[in-house]
Amino acid sequence: MYDQITDVPGVKVGNKENQQALTGCTAILFDGGAVAGVDVRGSAPGTRETDLLNPVNLVDKVHAICLSGGSAFGLDAASGVMQFLEEEDIGLDVGVAKVPIVPAAVLFDLPHGDPKVRPDKQMGYEAAKAATTEMFNMGNYGAGCGATVGKLAGLDFCMKGGLGSASLRLNNGVVIGAIVAVNPVGDVREPSTGEILAGPYKEGGILDSIKLLEQNYSPTVPAGSNTTIGVVAVNAELTKAEATKVAQMAQDGYARTIFPAHTMFDGDTIFAVATGGERIPVDVIGGLAAKVMERAILNAVQSAESVGGIIAHKDVAKNQ
């Protein structure tokens, strides 16, 4: 057990990033495909193939999910994941071809690094090619490379977000895992203590985003310039409707750690996938998926490194 989503049987993760441009993408691949659902809570999402996951629609399995920086430009990375899977003869068999099903979601990381460099088809291909069942890097990697936290006081006062993951193994061998790229307008807090781990950093301290709102603070952050995107996975049997419910319940992990979450400035999205196995009650999977997502978000912030003048949690802790 690596305490990552790759602990779930049938799940692989690959990252590719440009550390100078501060952007990247993450490919999550599923051996044999996986039943999937999605829940979009933020009001400024950037997504691909989410309508396909509606339980009333035909296709019942996905072959990968792509999480990417680059705003809407970053959706192009999913085409590279598709290309890699097609070369591996993986996809929905439609007779004349096998079409890889690759839903995707993006976050906004353009203000930092080089805004002219975004995850593209080549980067998506390389992320998929690098996918492994082993432990992978967190923090400033993949879709979390240019992620930031705490922008209600302005972009100049944000802290570093990043890529995080976590997992939980039940006694019956079922594993629930989560992966997330943390890039919210709000701050990130430790749920058990309320401690703000990352948020607006000003004059050597972290401001409370909720208190800023209480002061009738008028945010100057452009709409859609944030977004936390993630995936929860389980090696159990779920229908598309049940996977959708798990995705909805996993959003509680966002709400317990991000203040505020699901705003007009965010496009918060969670995919839920089931790689197959025994039947487990949906409430068990969903409730625990929210818990695992909490830990993944905390791991993202705690793994992040300061870069480009953006301070990370671990360096704030050192200074205190």
pLDDT in tens, 109-129: 999 999 999 999 999 999 999
pLDDT of residue 215: 87
| Ranges of the chain with pLDDT below 70 | 217, 219, 223-224, 317, 319-320
* Residue partners of 23: CB distance under 8 A and separation at least 6: 17, 69, 70, 74, 109, 110, 113, 114, 117, 118, 119, 145, 146
pLDDT of residue 203: 84
- Integer angstrom CA distances of residue 136 from 6, 259, 310: 9, 28, 23
List b or e across 185-195, with b for residues whose CB sees 16 or more CB atoms inside 10 angstroms: bbbbbeeeeee
List b or e across 93-103, with b for residues whose CB sees 16 or more CB atoms inside 10 angstroms: eeeeeebbbbb
Q: Cis omega (within 30 of 0) on the bond before 200? A: no
pLDDT of residue 217: 67
Secondary structure element (H or E) that encloses residue 12, with its range: strand 11-18
* Residue partners of 218: CB distance under 8 A and separation at least 6: none
User: Is 159 in a helix, a strand, or coil?
Assistant: strand
Do 16 and 123 form a contact (C-beta atoms < 8 A)? yes
What domains lie within the chain, and their CATH numbers?
A: 5-319 (3.60.70.12)
Q: Which is nearest to 194 in space by CA: 257, 111, 124?
A: 257
pLDDT of residue 320: 59
